[in-house]
Amino acid sequence: MQATELAQPATRRSVFFLSDRTGITAETLGHSLLTQFDNVEWNRHSIPFLDSMQKVAALAERINQCAATDGCRPLVFSTLVDEEQRAVISDTHCVFYDFFGTFIDSMEKELRQQSAHAVGRSYGLQGNQTSYFDRMEAINFTLNNDDGVSARNFAKADIILIGVSRSGKTPTCLYMALQYGIAAANYPLTEEDMDSMRLPKILEPFKDKLFGLTLNPQQLHRIRQERRPNSPYAALAQCQQEIQWQESLYRLSKVPNIDTSNISIEEISATILNRSGLKRALYGASKNH
Amino acid sequence: MQATELAQPATRRSVFFLSDRTGITAETLGHSLLTQFDNVEWNRHSIPFLDSMQKVAALAERINQCAATDGCRPLVFSTLVDEEQRAVISDTHCVFYDFFGTFIDSMEKELRQQSAHAVGRSYGLQGNQTSYFDRMEAINFTLNNDDGVSARNFAKADIILIGVSRSGKTPTCLYMALQYGIAAANYPLTEEDMDSMRLPKILEPFKDKLFGLTLNPQQLHRIRQERRPNSPYAALAQCQQEIQWQESLYRLSKVPNIDTSNISIEEISATILNRSGLKRALYGASKNH
């Protein structure tokens, strides 16, 4: 990293995420660092597939121009593997956060092994088709078992999410299937269920697999308004009533549940996996968690 | 990082991914570094939601036990934010890759600002509901426009994936919707379409939005075998014929396309976005890419 000769107390900073492949790693880690700073407006540039020196040279020029325009150095988060390419970027007027270089040297020493310095490994399949099939199968399962359409498959589900309409069951199921290879089914709690304070009969044999979603009534109201504006279904009073009933049901039936009001799908999914003790398959991670 | 007093030339190494929240960032970056080393068998442990000193202390003991059992230090990839917690882990017999500490100090200097040191920001919504709605809307669009079921919505699609049955259209669409908020539709090329060497009529008005998927016939054969074993549909000769026709169609109709045989859904999606010039919304990244 260079001295901060161009640095200014600026509230608007440019950020580049560089990668020789998808950019997912650079963006994920960069984003998690940026969120630690308030009062900065980030002007983000994602540059994936930097796979030639030509592209890298053109980008170096763009970074320098950006530094000149901004009057301060852009922050550059990089997962570039190629040493020559990293050197070119490091020579620009930027603050270079070199994820690869920072850690790989120490890892080579510790493992007494040269690293492959090969691009594209992170999200490659590397001949391992198992996880591809697992994910496909989980996605198919989730699509075929969305909205309680075929409860006869609940026995095969890893988990069954329940909640009133628009409580986020489908996206959460899909995320768990795609990211973790979890066979996630879901079942909507409807107005008919509300007549009693019991779990729907169809769910009783699978009580151990249930996980409830809930959220604050105002947010449910906003989400339903987007779908069917000014309908009885979207009315705030209706949402309040459904959420109140739903949360009582979870409490009385001892269904573990999560309030999704202020967290993202990523966090909802990870929390459910963690609390339900389900095996995580993210990047083939072990069964421990 | 400590000296390597316990290090051994080992082919089996334990790895821990630590996080105070979902663990996605720690696992993503750690994974991308590990894939650079061949001939090492990784024993992975994912430890998300380390949200108390009690949990951290228990984990520290577990890491030390692991080091004793393995006869060499585990590699620990951490996105822990809390300084005290990081100090406890750093004191164990491990090689500590501290993503947060490594970069945040330099960022604080550059930005002349204290970081929030607050956990859970990376995947929190922080009051910004827009991206949640965008993603929900994209997922709903994708689910409602899967398998060409309602071509009347093609005008609203950001992209339309085409390909023969089991070429990976649905999971790719769902991934693009979930991760990038892209409204992705898809349309299956069928045997009826194969009678001519033309794009199906229904697709003609949307030629600019088309992106073709293809893969090698052997792999298509394997995937179809899983679904309908020993059917004419899954026969290798059938797969060869369909793929040959499909690739000719892409060439003649000038449909950009991608061979998905050896790459993951993440990479397929990022490549399609990159080549089609679609805006990326990963973590609210800017429209540049």
Q: Do A235 and A186 fall into the same domain?
A: yes
Q: Do A99 and A157 fall into the same domain?
A: no
Q: Do A107 and A189 fall into the same domain?
A: no
pLDDT computed for residue A137 by the predictor: 82
- In tens, the pLDDT along B158-208 reads 999 999 999 999 999 999 998 888 999 999 998 888 888 889 999 999 999
- In tens, the pLDDT along A9-24 reads 448 999 999 999 888 8
**Percentage of chain B lying above the pLDDT 90 cut:** 56
Nearest CA in chain A to B18: A289
Q: Do B56 and B142 fall into the same domain?
A: no
pLDDT computed for residue A282 by the predictor: 56
Q: Do A79 and A182 fall into the same domain?
A: no
Domain presence at residue A243: yes
Closest-CA distance, A196 to chain B, in angstroms, reads 30
- In tens, the pLDDT along B213-224 reads 999 999 999 989
**Percentage of chain A lying above the pLDDT 70 cut:** 88
Contact B280 A46 (CB under 8 A): yes
- In tens, the pLDDT along B243-252 reads 999 999 999 9
Contact A75 B110 (CB under 8 A): yes
Nearest CA in chain A to B177: A171
- In tens, the pLDDT along B98-112 reads 998 999 888 999 998
User: Using an 8 Å Cβ cutoff, are B56 and B85 in contact?
Assistant: yes
Which among B37, B123, B284 has CB closest to A115? B37
Full strand arrangement of the beta sheet holding A210-214? A184-189, A159-164, A210-214, A257-259
Task: Determine which of A160-164, B160-164, B236-240, B281-285 has the lowest per-residue pLDDT on average.
Answer: B281-285
User: Using an 8 Å Cβ cutoff, are A136 and B62 in contact?
Assistant: no
Q: Do B152 and B54 fall into the same domain?
A: no
- To the nearest 10 degrees (0 to 180), the angle between helices A217-227 and B130-144 is 50
Q: What CATH number did the domain enclosing A280 receive?
A: 3.40.50
pLDDT computed for residue B146 by the predictor: 81
Q: Do A280 and A144 fall into the same domain?
A: yes
Domain presence at residue A118: no
Whether pLDDT at A280 is above 50:
yes
Domain presence at residue A45: yes
pLDDT computed for residue A31 by the predictor: 86
According to the per-residue pLDDT averaged within each range, which of A3-17, B4-18, B48-62 is highest?
B48-62
- In tens, the pLDDT along A132-141 reads 777 878 888 8
Cα angle: B62, vertex B68, B73; to 5 degrees: 85
pLDDT computed for residue A95 by the predictor: 96
- The residue with tokens 């504006």 is A229
List Cβ neighbours of A96 (8 Å cut-off, separation of 6 or more). Answer: A1, A2, A76, A78, A89, A90
- Domain termination residue (choose one: A76, A111, A146): A111
Which chain A residues are closer than 8 Å to B266 by Cβ? 22, 24, 123
- In tens, the pLDDT along B118-128 reads 766 666 544 34
List Cβ neighbours of B162 (8 Å cut-off, separation of 6 or more). Answer: B169, B186, B187, B188, B189, B203, B210, B211, B212, B213, B255
Q: How confident is the model at residue A2 (pLDDT cuts 50, 70, 90)?
A: very low
According to DSSP, the β-strands at A159-164 and A184-189 are parallel
- In tens, the pLDDT along A51-78 reads 999 999 999 999 999 999 999 999 999 9
Q: Do B78 and B162 fall into the same domain?
A: no
Which domain, by its residues, includes A54?
A: 12-111
pLDDT computed for residue B120 by the predictor: 66
Which chain A residues are closer than 8 Å to B286 by Cβ? 43-46
Contact B262 A175 (CB under 8 A): no
Contact A32 B95 (CB under 8 A): no
Which chain B residues are closer than 8 Å to A43 by Cβ? 286
Contact B267 A123 (CB under 8 A): yes
The predicted model gives B17-24 an average pLDDT of 89
Which chain A residues are closer than 8 Å to B1 by Cβ? 106
Residue A157 burial by Cβ neighbours in a 10 Å radius (0-12, 13-18, 19+): buried
Q: How many domains in chain A?
A: 2
- In tens, the pLDDT along A184-237 reads 999 999 888 888 888 999 999 999 999 999 999 999 999 899 889 999 999 999
Which among A17, A37, A170 has CB closest to B139? A170
Average pLDDT, chain A: 86
Whether pLDDT at B157 is above 90:
yes
Which among B36, B49, B115 has CB closest to A274? B49
Which among A48, A222, A267 has CB closest to B274? A48
Better-predicted residue by pLDDT, B151 or A276: A276
Cα–Cα distance measured from residue B165 to residue B169, given in angstroms and rounded to the nearest whole number? 8
**Percentage of chain A lying above the pLDDT 90 cut:** 56
Better-predicted residue by pLDDT, A13 or A25: A13
Domain presence at residue B153: yes
Whether pLDDT at B117 is above 90:
no
Specify the amino acid at residue B226. E
Q: Do B54 and B103 fall into the same domain?
A: yes
The predicted model gives A22-38 an average pLDDT of 86
Whether pLDDT at B22 is above 50:
yes
Whether pLDDT at A119 is above 80:
no
Q: Dig out the tokens for A60 from the structure.
A: 């170096």
ipTM of this complex: 0.80
Q: Do B147 and B273 fall into the same domain?
A: yes
Domain presence at residue B123: no
Q: Do A100 and A150 fall into the same domain?
A: no
Whether pLDDT at B283 is above 80:
no
Better-predicted residue by pLDDT, A134 or B156: B156
DSSP string, B164-206: ETTSSHHHHHHHHHHHH---EEEEEE-TTGGGSSS--GGGGGG
Strands (E), chain B: 12-18, 41-47, 75-78, 95-98, 159-164, 184-189, 210-214, 257-259
Q: Do A161 and A56 fall into the same domain?
A: no
A:B CB pairs within 8 Å: 256
Domain presence at residue B134: yes
Which among A9, A28, A171 has CB closest to B139? A171
- Domain termination residue (choose one: A51, A76, A111): A111
Cα–Cα distance measured from residue B36 to residue A100, given in angstroms and rounded to the nearest whole number? 10
Domain presence at residue B143: yes
